[in-house]
Amino acid sequence: MARPLAGLGVLVTRPAHQSAPLCRLLEEQGALPLAFPVLEIADPTDTTSLRATLARLEEFSLAIFVSPNAVIRAQRWLNNAGGLPPNLTLAAIGQGSANELARYGLTVHLAPTGSYDSESLLATPRLSRINGERVIIFRGTGGRELLHSELTKRGARVTYAEVYQRIKPTTDPCELHNRIAHKEMHAAIVTSSEGLHNLYSLVDPVGQAWLRDAQLIVFSERTASEARKIGLGGDIQVTTEASDAAIVAALIQIQEGSTA
């Protein structure tokens, strides 16, 4: 029986510790994935502020986890700090973050529907009534300031718990360049704007030319917009949610459409 992604060369740019499950799903559908990490997740350089923040978790009423990595990396620090207070409301921006929280036995009380981004979370009724509350945002160092700035405008007192940092890896592009030269690559999966820029800088001019015409699969309109700004993506598909299953579903839909 023919598999829907048979022979499709797919570039998987997720961090090394997250790429294997996605590669397996793609292989099950007949694709030929190439793992090419464009981000490395590491501990923060300075954890003094983080430790001090986690020592006063009882002060907060709402905790927001911005990504699966925020959930995973937070667990180590939370275990040392005695865990999350039982009365803390937990919010997850995307389905991946919600799934990770559930994997640790934690209940997600608040998550957006439809689009899985900061804007959608901010649009939930719960966050329209935030005046006077203390909010902790689990994230990596740097990143978007929208949640912090908007919740502050609404009267919340917001603190970051930066539990990891993103580093540009030294991924060897030789295999990717070779596959491009032999016309064996057809699509690229890029799950963040930072990863997009790292990918473009890690490949040679031939690889950059391929990216300008390649099918791109992204998690958000924001990343799609960033790709267009730098001239990438012959066609850009935004997934219905931030998950491996949604990535595979998007690729299958594209393939079925191209052969219809």
pLDDT above 80 for 114: no
Q: How many domains does the chain have?
A: 2
User: Cα–Cα distances in Å, from 53 out to 50, 68, 243?
Assistant: 5, 20, 30
Task: Report residue 9 as tokens.
Answer: 């060369």
Task: Report residue 74 as tokens.
Answer: 């937070």
Which of 167, 191, 223 terminates a domain? The answer is: 167
Which of 99, 132, 167 terminates a domain? The answer is: 167
In a domain, residue 101? The reply is yes
- What pLDDT is recorded for position 260? 47
Average pLDDT over residues 152-166: 96
Which of 108, 132, 167 terminates a domain? The answer is: 167
Do 180 and 126 lie in a common domain? no
Do 22 and 118 lie in a common domain? no
Q: Which domain range does residue 115 map to?
A: 42-167
Q: Distance between CA atoms of 243 and 220, rounded to whole angstroms?
A: 12
In a domain, residue 3? The reply is no
| Structure confidence by residue, pLDDT tens digits, 175-193 | 999 999 999 999 999 999 9
Bridge partners (DSSP) listed for residue 165: 42
pLDDT-derived band at 32 (thresholds 50, 70, 90) equals very high
In a domain, residue 203? The reply is yes
Which of these ranges, 29-33, 93-97, 120-124, 248-252, has the smallest mean pLDDT?
A: 93-97
Identify the CA nearest to 84 among candidates 112, 110, 65, 111.
65
pLDDT above 50 for 60: yes
In a domain, residue 2? The reply is no
